[in-house]
Structure 1
Amino acid sequence: MTLSLMFEVAMLVSSVCGVLVAAWLLWRARKQGDLQALAGFAIMMAIWCFGHVVLFQGYERVGVYIILANPLMPTFFLHFAIRFVNSGTAKEPMLDRLCQAVPWFYLTSFTVVLQSWWMEAGDAISTLDTRSFFIFTEAGTWNLAYTVLIGILAHGVLLFGWYRHSGNKKRSILAMFGVGAWGLLLATSFVFPSFGISWFPYPMLLLPTYLLLLVYAVVRYQILSVNAFANRALLWVAMMLVILCVIAVISVVSGRIGLQALANVPSWQLWLYSLLILVVAALIYQPLSRLISRLIYPGASLNEAVLDTWSTQLKDAQDWPQLIAIGERLLSLQIRRSVAIQLKHADLPVQEQNDALAIRVSRLETDWHFVLIGWDDASPGMRLTAEVFASLFSTSCGLLERSLALAAAERKRMDEQHLVELGSLSAAMAHELRNPLNIISMAAYDAPVETRQHIQTQLKRADRLVSDMLVYSGGLNLQIAKTPLCALVSSIVTQAQLDGVVVELEIEQTMELAADPQRLQQVFINLIDNAVSFLRNMPEGKLCIEAKVQDQQTVIQVHNNGPAIDPSLQGEALFQPFVTKRAGGSGLGLAIVRRIVDAHGGRIRHRDDAGWPVTFELIFPQSIHFTNDGIRHE
């Protein structure tokens, strides 16, 4: 193969690559102006390389005119550089002005090209092994100088973008600079004959790589599929280089080991035959791989489309039952057999089923794992499908779990915000109710005695409800102090209207509790009043309050022998606001008690196993952490 033929093939390959790359860019980036400009650069480079092919075929005038259009190449690249660097949210005023001037750059380039044609700025000569090669005449100095100037301006824009940007865009610009250095090295030999240097343009034989590397440097951080293609292409190129080295070794040693017939075959023919075999292998690799996969795993028809469908539909699940239903439907349709999915989760106990084929998915520590049940007699293809699906389903379980956790946290935040707003509204309403209650009280002063007493009774009830609402909706600022527990409870019992109810105290005189005395007094008042309201009409009504220290905690139990609490009210519902069976009660007493106990870092619960029909147990920590001012705030 002569050098001129190699050069012609290289130019033809560059031209074909330019057209293919331009078509691919226009197809993948129809709405991106920067990549459209890059496609224009690829087309112009394809035309420019084809001009050399035309020149070699004897059409010298046409070839020279095509090559003289080279100012359009850097103009398209300048257009691309401006759009690429100025894309995104942050716009640069200087680049905006350059972008507005792009039509003038194109107009100037066309003018330079027309002037070069009119002034015969190019010619063709024979040099070394080539049949014809392009050279610039004296009139072509402006063409060459303008082309270089536009190229410098385009790379200056890229340099500015490298300084201003970060991340993937900065990496792309850096890669383009490296490819630009490679392109400059290849194109340098193009102008040697124009300066009287009689040297064959060997670097231009590698010109097809420049365009491919440039496009790859631009889009590798934008279009991920390009990286997969580049990975395969680099693999095949490496294999071709290995074959070239092996053929060179064979050509040297074959004659010495007695393989004279092989030694007589030209090296380029051996390399060409090997390259042909490699190309054929590349073409049949995918079909052959699918055929072998079907032979090894019969019945398995997994591909990228199936996996994308599985992933998309599993992500649509909003809860665990829906995820199970979607998973069973997808896998059953794929293998044409009924499959059950058993999901082991805290919120969803496993339902044992008698299906022949099942997948059990469970959460172990921090990860989700799966086990295939009943697949021993399944075909290898079906088992492979099940394993792939189960792995994807396990991943979907983790995604759904995190999604539900985030949704629950958001609901809790909204509920807390709603409670804060409701508390503020309740406090405002309670304050506003005080005024009309006072007016009613004063207006009833001249009413008959019986009527006035009835009004005063209802006013006291309303005032108690308002007070409870203010306590429940307001903030709790605790003034913590060592409080004598027995003395506090005794004073409350002395002042209470017991109506014949017997009260027993089993509290040591020396026992003290770190608590807010006023809030603690409110706790016992509410509990005692609540118990007395049920005991006052009972014979032998009895109330017992005992306290003891247990496991470094103060445990207080308030017992009474009144009627047992309805099972429907036991548990958390008992301490919810406005939940009561007490006649005339506000439903806030136990809710306020729990709020005060919680503010002290303690807890309250109802018990029916302490030997009394009703027992409320309060547990306080013996030590409370104080703030710098000696006050513990809720």
Structure 2
Amino acid sequence: MFEIAMLVSSVCGVLVAIWLLWRAGKQSDLQALAGFAIMMAIWCFGHVVMFQGFERVGIYMILANPLMPTFFLHFAILFVNSGTAKEPMLDRLYKMVPWFYLTSFAVVLQSWWIGAGDAISTPYTKAFFVFTHAGLWNLVYTVFIGVLAHGVLMFGWYRHAGNKKRSILAMCGVGAWGLLLATSFVFPSFGISWFPYPMLLLPTYLLLLVYAVVRYQILSVNAFANRALLWFAMMMVLLCVIAVISVVSGRIGLQALSNVPSWQLWLYSLLILVVAALVYQPLSRLVARLIYPGASLNETVLDTWSSQLKEVKEWSELVEVGECLLSKQIRHKVAIQLQSLTTADEDKTNALALRISRSDSGWHFVLVGWNDASPGMRLTAEVFASLFSTSCGLLERSLALAAAERKRLDEQHLVELGSLSAAMAHELRNPLNIIAMASYDAPVETRQHIQTQLKRADRLVSDMLVYSGGLSLQFSATPLRALVASIVAQSNTEGVEYELNIDDSIELEADPQRLQQVFINLIDNALSFLRNTPEGKLCIKAEQQTQQVVIQVHNNGPSIDASLQDVLFQPFVSKRAGGSGLGLAIVRRIVDAHGGTIRHRVDTAWPVTFELILPRYSASSHLGKPAHDTE
């Protein structure tokens, strides 16, 4: 049993080393770990050689054991010090790695020279390795390098986080397991005549060590480990079942079965288990083809579907790619009806279809017209539909993120545009002032024309400054009738009849200058149209309620086009000759800043009505308090 265990360990070491070198590529840490596996294979094979009568060769192979922890130390330094953050202490230790190898070779050569090992027979083995007194130096040096390597791992565990920290913790646990197994190796060297049972489990040490290293780096190894652990568990269960059968069979009359040695029953059963493991995959594929004829799903097909669906950037393209992939796979035309597309797209009359819909719990699919399809085609459709539904969710989130990013950029662009507009408006006033001064020497008619255009330009500049800048509100008690009356009195109302139906007691807590600007814009807008209207009338009414004041500005000018209703308060929308298109936008901004609302009403007796609803008091009593800034 000991010889078989050592032989299995040797074979495992060689296979693991080959696999690591194959997967390592240019990863020097895995190359060093492969060196450790090779040295462990040599060390274990030395015991096998000794059992076969080649004692001197076996002793030489076992005395090479200082190279094992040296390779592991090399691996530990590279593994812990990999990544962006380098540790100066480990950098210095890495520069000493060649000296560690040189020292280990020197210890091995010196052990060979002085005869540091010998072979003895024990009650359990015919040839077992022991250290001589001169060879204790070899053992001490090997233990020292092993402790140093695990010290490097513990340092890495302290410094790192995430998967690397988990890997290091797993390696330290496996190292403790290896120490427990290897302890029995030195018992005969100290005169302890015990059979080295723990060494029978040495194959597990190497496999567990490599798995602890690569399970977070090479994900495919986890699937292999999952299958291996499953079959190992089945083997253990089988061993227990055979033990029970051996005990019970004689008592229930199966004497022939009870006479069969237990190890033969276990060996036969193990052979059946191995055969079952070998034929499981082929039989599984064969049964799948019998039950689902025509279905040829495998990892390659699923990867192709997943990769092509992930590359899609819009809904119509997703449907087109999905229909192409599924139709090609089952060799039959299939339509995909997506809930988010048009009705015409959902009314396809193909015999086979996938209906994908969205609900609060996510995306779902329904197979339409698949009742006469073969089981294989239906299975393929269900798998594809499940993957397609997942792709719909991913695309939905991707488009939502893209829309949010575009909105953020648009808002940023508007902020930058507002700042630019304010700066340009400020700069325009200088040349306008120069033009105004230069026009004093011009003829009277020319000067009046220039002054008219300058006033228009100044009004446009003022509107741009108000709309693009922040609003600073200075709240105070504002009598509404007095404020509106002063604006009407200063306006050119020639040919226009006006009426103020505002009670003198109505008072607002507002910014009088900003509120004045609101009524200037509304009254000027109305007068510009009423001057060309026969019997033009302007009526301003106000009604005081408990917490708010409702103000209506009526006029009998031409009604506003229905096409402008939805964009009336947006900037640069105007039917007024010479208007800036910012008047109503500024009005809404000031009203919003006061916590009120403004709207255009078409349900009154007047052709044009603007209704303002303003709170009597500010959101928090600002009366007598510092200014409140709103952007």
Q: Give the TM-score category using the shorter length.
A: over 0.9
Where does residue 620 of structure 2 map in the other structure? 626
Separation of aligned partners in 1, 2:560 and 2:423:
33
Q: Tell me if the contact between 1:580 and 1:587 (Cα under 8 Å) persists in the aligned partners.
A: yes
Question: Within 5 A, what are the aligned runs for 1:302-321?
Answer: 302-321=297-316
**Is the CA contact (8 Å cut-off) linking 2:507 and 2:616 kept in structure 1?**
no
The corresponding residue for 1:3 is none
Residue aligned with 1:254, SS: helix
Aligned residue identity for 1:65: Y
Structure 1 partner of 2:4:
9
Q: Which amino acid aligns with 2:268?
A: Y
Is 1:123 matched with 2:118? yes
Q: Is the 8 A contact 1:571 1:606 kept in 2?
A: no
Question: For each residue in 1:491-530, what CA deviation from the matched residue of structure 2 results, as whole angstroms up to 9, or x when unmatched?
Answer: 3222221232233445455444443222222122112212
For residue 543 of structure 1, what is the amino acid of its counterpart? L
Query: In the alignment, which of 256, 266, 273 is matched to residue 251 of structure 2?
Result: 256
Which position in structure 1 is the counterpart of 2:591?
597
Match of 1:54 in 2: 49
Which whole-Å CA distance do the structure 1 matches of 2:605 and 2:50 have between them? Answer: 111
C-alpha change, 1:386 and 1:134, in structure 2 (3 Å) is: same
Which residue matches 1:588? Answer: 582
Could you say if the C-alpha distance between residues 545 and 303 of structure 1 is closer, same or farther in structure 2, counting changes exceeding 3 Å?
A: farther
Percent sequence identity over aligned pairs = 81
Aligned to 1:287: 282
Once the two structures are TM-superposed, the CA of residue 366 in structure 1 deviates from its matched residue by: 4.5
Of the structure 1 ranges 68-77 and 84-93, higher mean CA displacement relative to structure 2 is found in 84-93
1:541 maps to 536
Counterparts of 1:139-154 in structure 2, within 5 Å, are 139-154=134-149
- Identify the match of residue 350 of structure 2 among 339, 352, 355: 355
**Deviation for aligned residue 1:611:** 4.7
Aligned length: 628
The CA deviation at 1:167 is 2.7
Query: CA separation in 1, counterparts of 2:290 and 2:573?
Result: 70
CA deviation after TM superposition for structure 1 residue 271, in Å: 0.4
Distance 2:344 2:591 in 1: 35
Kept in 1: contact 2:510–2:617 (CA 8 A): no
Name the structure 1 match of 2:156.
161
Match of 2:265 among 270, 274, 283: 270
Inter-partner Cα distance in structure 2 for 1:17 and 1:418: 65
One-letter code aligned to 2:150: H
Distance change in 2, residues 1:605/1:36 (3 Å): farther
Segments of structure 1 that go 5 or more residues without pairing to the other structure are 1-5
Taking the aligned partners of 2:316 and 2:515, their CA distance within structure 1 comes to 47
* Stretch of structure 1 that moved more, 15-24 or 613-622: 613-622
Q: Work out the CA distance in 2 between the residues paired with 1:624 and 1:381.
A: 71
Cα 1:471–1:24 change in 2 (3 A) is: same
Task: Provide, for residues 553-608 of structure 1, a one-character-per-residue CA deviation record: whole Å limited to 9, x for no partner.
Answer: 65544343333444554423x33333333221122212212222332334444444
Aligned pairs for 1:460-499 within 5 A: 460-499=455-494
Counterparts of 2:206 and 2:330 in 1: how far apart (Å)?
46
- Distance in structure 2 (CA, Å) of the matches to 1:509 and 1:377: 84
For 2:362, which of 361, 367, 378 is the aligned residue? 367
CA distance in 2, matches of 1:484, 1:387: 73
Bigger Cα displacement from structure 2, 157-166 vs 201-210: 157-166
Deviation at 1:317, TM superposition (A): 2.0
Q: Is the deviation greater in 396-405 or in 247-256?
A: 396-405
Distance between the aligned counterparts of 2:566 and 2:149, measured in 1? 75
- For structure 2, list consecutive stretches of 5 or more residues without a partner in the other structure: none
**Equivalent residues of 1:492, 1:521 under 8 A apart:** yes
**Residues 357 and 482 of structure 1, relative CA distance in 2, 3 Å threshold:** farther
Which amino acid in structure 1 is aligned with residue 102 of structure 2?
Answer: L
Which has the larger displacement, 478-487 or 60-69? 478-487
Q: Is the 8 A contact 2:184 2:198 kept in 1?
A: yes
How far is the alpha carbon of 1:105 from its aligned partner? 0.6
How far the C-alpha of 1:474 sits from its partner, in A, is: 1.0
Amino acid paired to 1:249: V
SS in 1 for 2:252: coil
CA distance 1:414–1:140, change in 2 (3 Å)? same
Does residue 220 (structure 1) correspond to residue 215 (structure 2)? The answer is: yes
Sort the Cα spacing of 1:422 and 1:9 in 2 relative to 1 into closer, same or farther, 3 A: same
| TM value normalised by structure 2 | 0.93
- Show the counterpart of 1:45: 40
* Counterpart AA for 2:577: A
Work out the CA distance in 1 between the residues paired with 2:587 and 2:345. 40
- Distance, in Å, in 2 between the alignment partners of 1:560 and 1:379 is 75
How far apart are the structure 2 equivalents of 1:428 and 1:92? 53
Which residue does the alignment assign to 1:189?
184
What does the per-residue CA deviation read over 1:345-376, in whole Å, with 9 as the maximum and x for residues that have no partner?
A: 49999743323222222222252222222223
Partner secondary structure for residue 347 of structure 2: coil
Cα distance change, pair 627–362 in 1 and its aligned pair in 2 (3 A) = farther
Contact 2:595/2:619 (<8 A) preserved: no
Residues 32-111 of structure 1 aligned to structure 2 (within 5 Å): 32-111=27-106
Letter in 2 for 1:578: F
Counterpart for residue 412 of structure 2:
417
**Does the 8 Å CA contact 1:626/1:632 hold for their aligned counterparts?**
no
Larger deviation, residues 595-604 vs 463-472: 595-604
Instruction: Please state how far the C-alpha of 1:620 moved relative to its aligned partner.
Output: 4.1
